[in-house]
Chain A
Amino acid sequence: MIEEREVDLLLNDLLEVYGYDFTHYARASLKRRINRLWSLDKFPSFAEMRYRVRTDPHYLKRFVEELTVNVTEMFRDPLFYKTLRTEVISTLAAKPFIRIWHAGCSTGEEVFSMAILLKEANLLHKSLLYATDLNSEVLEVARKGIFALAPMKQYSENYILSGGKKDFSSYYTAQYGHVKFNEELAGKMVFSTHNLVSDRSFNEFDLILCRNVLIYFDKALQERVLTLFNESLGPLSYLALGAKETLKFSTLQPKFKQLENNEKIWRKIG
């Protein structure tokens, strides 16, 4: 088990040597992930793990990728997606152009889910989906639009529960245990690295989705990121968070109004 003091040393190394600032990540989860890597990669001591992180840029990539959580699904929380269809996307339909930001998109499952919603609302042609993440490796996966076949059954059920009426498999081609989603969907996506801890706003959006990312941050960093989102949202645009995330601890709460069905979607009113 790693000690608090050693966590501090590692985080300081990541910041000093590489410019990655994890000091405002939620500590308990971060510590658990460092312990997990320590045992997965079989370091005999903390000193050896620290030396490897400091001196081996290839290992650093793995370390940062494993430190951050990259678990994601298509149409996770189907009722959330149903609300996107009925309340949010229908409201955005009148706009000449729709800009959406997936902040912390990981391997892109949610971006493809959103593209499917837009396609079914006949809005994909005038939409642009910006998908960003801290890790360039996961963005490579997202950019290819190729996912494992195994979870498609679950995703298909989620899709139907979200109000999907088509055959989910019509959106992809399956081959050798993998599926590739139709080019039309990926054609409206822009992938780029962006670090919510240190980078700034880069556009104005009609909808920002950042689901299950803020849970890894402490309250101070959550506030910074929510401020960044607020600056990146036009009037009456939407912010969507994860099922257990909330604005209730933020000073920005008065500027936003949660949708009436209590899904974790807020509209910017102030």
Chain B
Amino acid sequence: MAENRIINHCQVVVIGGSTGSIDVLLKLLPALRSPLPFTLIIVLHRKNTADSTLANLFSLKTSLPLKEVDDKDVIVPGTIYLAPADYHLLIEKDGTFSLDDSEKVNYSRPSIDVTFESAADVYGSSLVGVLLSGANADGTNGLVAIKRAGGVSIVQRPETAQVAFMPQQAILSAPIDYVLDVQELISFMNDLNQPGRVR
């Protein structure tokens, strides 16, 4: 565990989740400080319909700018981005998103691993990766990549997850810095990039 580490240079927080993670986000989003001092990217396993119900649902829960990603969108700090259904979400070195509709990874498109690995490649030590509830092993390799690139890895405390499998898999196979319940995760995120706060 990275105790007492000052996280004051976080550019991006990327959150991945599957079954049971929407409830967590519905609690987390309204509790985030505004303006958000980093970019938040959310990758959820969802049905492959091209509607924007989920983005609308999340928009109701926050006053922060929130957008479902279109191809080549420029990443704006302080914005919340949601990976669209049926595409992998990748990040380019020039600070834009790109989409990819290639084969599913871990039976999933979007795949959490794909976005985590791509974000790790671009943001290195200024990235925080968070893995929430789910019944799938997606995200574990992504957290390994984030740690290898110098970033911070967090999982939802399995006992507090609707489905514990996904965070449990990550704890078994990836180096994890913090295991947090939802309230602790909210505090952690609100402390990011706050000078003087030490965790």
Residues of A participating in the B interface, judged by any CB pair closer than 8 Å:
26-29, 31-33, 69, 71, 77, 79, 212, 214-216, 219, 222, 242-246, 248-249
Contact = CB atoms under 8 A, between A and B. Distances in A.
A215 B118 contact: no
Contacts of A27: 92-93
A78 to B, nearest CB: 9
Interface stretch (B34-42, B68-76, B187-195): B68-76
Nearest to A241: B71
Contact of B102 (A33, A243, A248): A33
A243 B90 contact: no
A29 B89 CA distance: 9
Nearest to B87: A244
Interface in B91-105: 91-93, 96, 98-103
A216 B50 contact: no
Contacts of A242: 71, 101
Given A79-B50, A249-B72, A32 B90 contact: yes
Of A71, A77, A216, A243, which is in contact with the most chain B CB atoms at under 10 Å from its CB? A243
Of A28, A79, A249, which is in contact with the most chain B CB atoms at under 10 Å from its CB? A28
Given A26-B92, A244-B84, A216 B100 contact: yes
A215 B71 contact: yes
Contacts of B100: 26, 29, 32, 69, 215-216
B156 to A, nearest CB: 26
B50 A32 contact: no
Nearest to A31: B121
Contact of B98 (A33, A69, A215): A215
Contacts of B101: 69, 71, 212, 215, 242
B114 interface: yes
A27 B122 CA distance: 11
Of A29, A214, A245, which is in contact with the most chain B CB atoms at under 10 Å from its CB? A29
B98 A244 contact: no
A29 B90 contact: yes
A26 B70 contact: no
Given A71-B103, A244-B71, A246-B70, A26 B98 contact: yes
Nearest to A4: B93
A244 B85 CA distance: 10
Contact of A32 (B69, B87, B93, B114): B114
A237 to B, nearest CB: 23
Contacts of A248: 70
B121 to A, nearest CB: 7
B102 A71 contact: yes
A75 to B, nearest CB: 12
Contacts of B93: 27-28
Contacts of B88: 29
B99 A215 contact: yes
B88 to A, nearest CB: 8
A83 to B, nearest CB: 12
Contact of A28 (B69, B84, B87, B92): B92
